Amino acid sequence: MTNYTNAGLVGAELRLTTQFTNDTTPSIGDVNRWITEASDLVDGVTNKKWGKETYTEYFDYDGQERLITKNAPIVTITKLEYNDVSLGSTPVWVEKAEGDYFDVYKETGEILLFLNKFSPKHKERCIRVTYEAGFENVPYKVRMLTTKLVAQRILNTKIAGNVESDNDGGSISVGSISIVEPASYGVNSYKRLQEDIDVLWNQVKGEFGVYRYSI
């Protein structure tokens, strides 16, 4: 799957004086694992994939001109093929070029076949489409949400006991990583982080409309 942020962005969110390495606490391995888990959480809660994934689908043919993919928006059609032999024989897949034999409506995940130029010889699983779907670039708000989720996890696991009202304006340590002014991660900053996350969750869940993907 696609990770929606990186350790550098998480470090910038926390305004670290030192970047994550194998020797810091948390280590770069810990942070990268938490990034993957946060990205997966965003997918699960929104029921969307915000990165770019490759899929292969088989379609039955009953004379229809339009195929609708399970995943949208489409980034690109890598290959569209049809089986050029009768049912029961070993499939012979013939590739057809976009523009000459089909058009793509990327946002809706629709493929318009030019059936005056080719026609499968049987119905079952006779058209095969390999394509990329999702987003070429991870949307900014998704990246920010994932970054802040990981930053919050670091704070929760390493400095929860230090997040007190009299700590605001001071400096604290996340293991061997120091967070210093102007980060000021006292209670007020921690509350703002949570508020930012709540706002971003609502925006990511509601702003981008319908997106479907196969599970």
pLDDT (tens digit per residue) in 190-200: 788 999 999 99
Residue 117 pLDDT: 84
161 within some domain: yes
Q: Are the CB atoms for 60 and 123 separated by under 8 Å?
A: yes
Q: How far is 49 from 136, CA to CA, in rounded Å?
A: 11
Q: How far is 48 from 215, CA to CA, in rounded Å?
A: 10
Residue 215 pLDDT: 36
Q: Kindly state the tokens that stand for 114.
A: 């030019």
Q: Kindly state the tokens that stand for 156.
A: 């929760």
Mark whether 145 and 45 lie in a shared domain. Answer: yes
Q: Are the CB atoms for 1 and 39 separated by under 8 Å?
A: yes
- Place 40 in a pLDDT band, splitting at 50, 70 and 90: very high
Domain that holds residue 143: 7-49+138-207
Residue 200 pLDDT: 95
The number of distinct structural domains making up the chain is 2
**DSSP symbol at 35:** H
Residue 90 pLDDT: 86
173 within some domain: yes
214 within some domain: no
Q: Are the CB atoms for 67 and 129 separated by under 8 Å?
A: yes
215 within some domain: no
- Place 155 in a pLDDT band, splitting at 50, 70 and 90: confident
Instruction: Assess whether pLDDT exceeds 60 at residue 189.
Output: yes
User: What 3-state DSSP class applies to 101?
Assistant: coil
- Alpha helix ranges (H) inside 6-92: 7-14, 28-46
Q: How far is 74 from 24, CA to CA, in rounded Å?
A: 40
CA distances from 42 to 13, 165, 195, 198 (A): 18, 31, 17, 13
Instruction: Assess whether pLDDT exceeds 90 at residue 149.
Output: yes
**Kind of pairing, strands 74-83 and 93-96?**
antiparallel
Which residue is it, tokens 């929104």?
A: 46
- Place 16 in a pLDDT band, splitting at 50, 70 and 90: confident
1 within some domain: no
| Residue 5 half-sphere exposure toward CB, CA atoms < 13 A | 30
Rg (CA), the chain: 24
Considering 108, 134, 160, which residue would you say is the last residue of a domain? 134
| Nearest to 4, CA basis, from 123, 99, 142, 133 | 142
Residue 116 pLDDT: 84
212 within some domain: no
Mark whether 66 and 129 lie in a shared domain. Answer: yes
Q: How far is 135 from 177, CA to CA, in rounded Å?
A: 33
